[in-house]
A and B are shown apart, each in its own frame.
Chain A
Amino acid sequence: MYVNKIALFTGVPLMESGTTGLKGQVQPIFPYKTECFACLPKATPKSFPVCTIRSTPSKPIHCITWAKNFLFPQLFGENDEEQHAANQQGVSDDSDNKDEVEALQKEANELLELKRLIQAAASKETNSTDAEFVHKILAKIFKEDIERLLRIETLWTTRAKPTPLQYTKDEYSNLKVSELSDQKPWDKQANLLQFSDSLIRLTNRLSSEPSIEFDKDDEDTLDFIVAAANLRSYVFGIEIKSKFDIKQIAGNIIPAVATTNAIMAGFSAVSSIHMFEGDQAIANSRMVYDSANGLKFVNSTKLDSPAHSCKACSIVRGIAKLPTNLKQVTLAQFRQALLEKYGYSDDIEISTSDSRLLYDYDFEDNLEKPLSQFVGFGDVLLISDSDEVLDHIELYLDGHDNDLAKGDEAKISLPELSIPAFRKKAVVEEEKEEGKQEDNADEQHRDNEDGVIVLDDEEEDEEEDDAIEIIDDDEVDIDKTKSGKY
């Protein structure tokens, strides 16, 4: 998204490409002439109603989400008060069933007690899966809470009833955690053993760590999520999943393979040839994406015009070149330059991308202050016409090139822009919201203006010596997995 916006500021064509498993796409972007990265709708992460997760799960993912996003942070997370408040909120927002809300609130209160049990146990190291607090926790989560839900009969008129977990301590005493397979789903005994074992491991860690967060590569946390999710699945009669599968779901692992990356990198490279074909560049360029059609290995389409509703490219953008010492430019000078260049009336509004107003007709306090007091190079200023004649614009601030002729370095050079007539304000409001998150990406550098920015979600390094491609899930930006065109 950030690079897309920079392409819009600079007007430099952008080659966007990315892969997810066997899927992938390459999209040449000619700023303001063809669809930009933001024009195409993106997949949003799935979410489930709180009540499905807390009271009425019906799929493995519901139990995994419960274990990862509810149970785990409740037991091992940071601030219990905050957690607690957040939970209550979600439930009452979501459920019309008063009994259910009450039951869930009671359940959450009791979880706080469990957390205290764990913290108490953490202070005196224990290695026995037979420890009293382990049994208390098992009984509370998989038995007492379920019994309480069962008493709310309205929940089960159209659904199968859950069965509180029945078990005895000896059931899993002859099993060993080390012998459990990652690939095959564990049976009830194995899940009980792993639940107890990972609970002990995590509890012991709390003596030296203030809190623990779920991380798919942290075996203790993963084991706990797998066992807890599966035990809940038993209770609700849902299919049991293997550790391997749950790791993928809980860890948002996006599979990556060398072949898809090679194919999309290849298309990305050949497609950039068209970018140098002048007048014909757009007509000759084609977007590529994977195909499910037996008559084609990939699909390709001509480039569309920008979407009218696109938040990114419905705003006119450009780069303002300013003296390298921003102290030399006052806001008044900058404002005057805008009026002269674009023919605005007197009545304009200048604000920063985080919505701080610098100037409007009623607010002239800043006029004699230097720009350096408000912004630096790399920042964006928004200019809007209070007379509602011309549309809003965004200017990216940059320093003059070093080789500029003497005498010109004190000037303000504004870009040639054709500003359309005024459009509704709503677009700009949303744009500001977005700007906030993206500004911290400012240190990312901008490519040479004459060149082509090649953006690639995945690392495609032909000479890498690893046998597999690894993308950390922290780096996977869900925004970038396109769904619109498939």
Chain B
Amino acid sequence: MSESGDPMDVTNRVQLPESEGGQAEHEQGPRLAVRQSRDEPEVQREVVFDVRDVSNYYGDFRAVRNVTLPVFRNEITALIGPSGCGKTTFLRNLNRMNDLIEGARIEGELLYHGVDLYDPQVDPVEVRRRIGMVFQKPNPFPKSIYDNVAFGPRIAGFTGNMDDLVEESLHRAALWDEVKDKLKESGMALSGGQQQRLCIARAIATRPDVILMDEPCSALDPIATQRIEDLMLELKHRYSIVIVTHNMQQAARVSDRTAFFTVEVHEDSGQRTGTVVEYDKTETIFTNPSDKRTEDYVTGRFG
């Protein structure tokens, strides 16, 4: 899985050199490629996903149009916006989960570490092994906690020490201490928050490069939410995370960058199409957005 020519192997990539001055700009997205923070030097981050003019269709219905944005490595990228604006649809592009929906279609270009994700030669199964997903509703398998975590590695033909891998994954998902004595019990018997962390552990166990999360806390209480948020901040040192959230505070608290989606209603047909209004550093989106619609949304005047 990690022969040297593998374009998706990111483990041995060199961090790009720091750019000089504050004016360094990414070719595609002005301002965005530069991480600016008062106490951190500006670093040009490696691009994980380069999304170029992507649109999504369900049959004839265009759900999302013309999204262009880069997603950076070791960052948490938040997708926010009103219900039905296509956040889930867009997120599921990133690991080709939309392939599973009959009639779903994508247009545009989506590069993952420079590789076209939708190239006919790309195997979506390989993509999903590198880009894990955590869903809105915790969905553990009706199997033991152990078997839940071991599921991904097993189907991928993992031959190492499974016990260690399971333990390590549960540790990283901050669940180990709570379940270490009952690994053989059903994952469905856990609380909602524990189930969601189990799902995160399950996703981590395949040793992904990116974790996609679709409203991972919406079914959880504030304490469980807090734990997942802490976990995300911990995980971003190893992984890149893209998260959909309806919770503005959550986006502000955890994410480095935020994309604001909105729905445009077509005048004649009444078709509702989602698109990105603004994409920037989270701080900018929440304190100094450049689009009026973003400002209305983040200040609670809309949605």
Do these two chains really belong together in a complex?
no
